[in-house]
Amino acid sequence: MATSLSPYVCLPGTARQALAFYRSVLGGQVSISTFGEFGGAGGADPDGVMHGQLDTPSGFTLMVSDAMPGMSSATGGNIALCLFGDDLEQLRGFFDGLAEGGRVTTPLEVQVWGDPYGALTDRFGVDWMVNASTPA
């Protein structure tokens, strides 16, 4: 198996809703394991998401979990998930979908470097950047 890197987002009890939302925007298949399936985990809600994973048709994987008691679930600040490629219409669809219920910080429009780019914070507090490469 090749080595991969995937974002793993920890949320304050909203992982199940976030996975459903991300699936509605990005497509793909969601798998969820709860804390209860693995015997609890230090007082965590047994129905809480210990590990959730979205595998998309575009080939990327997003992992999401609920924070265990005492675990930080701070969002925003120093990390943003970045979607990029050359299919502007697909990326615009992702941007518009992720922006629903969130806050656009930079509209998706052509920037000084020549690419359409936008940034937003989604309804779960997760920061996203979207960049569509233009042909050279």
CATH superfamily of 8-66: 2,3-Dihydroxybiphenyl 1,2-Dioxygenase, domain 1 (3.10.180.10)
- 30, two tokens: 């969601």
Read off the pLDDT of residues 5-39 as tens digits, 9 standing for 90 and up.
899 999 999 999 999 999 999 999 999 999 989 87
Phi, psi (5° rounding) for residue 32? -135, 135
Read off the pLDDT of residues 52-106 as tens digits, 9 standing for 90 and up.
999 999 999 999 999 887 777 666 667 899 999 999 999 999 999 999 999 999 9
CATH class belonging to 81-132 = alpha beta
pTM of the model: 0.89
DSSP label of 22: H
Domain ranges of the chain: 8-66, 81-132
**Residue 118 pLDDT greater than 90, yes or no:** yes
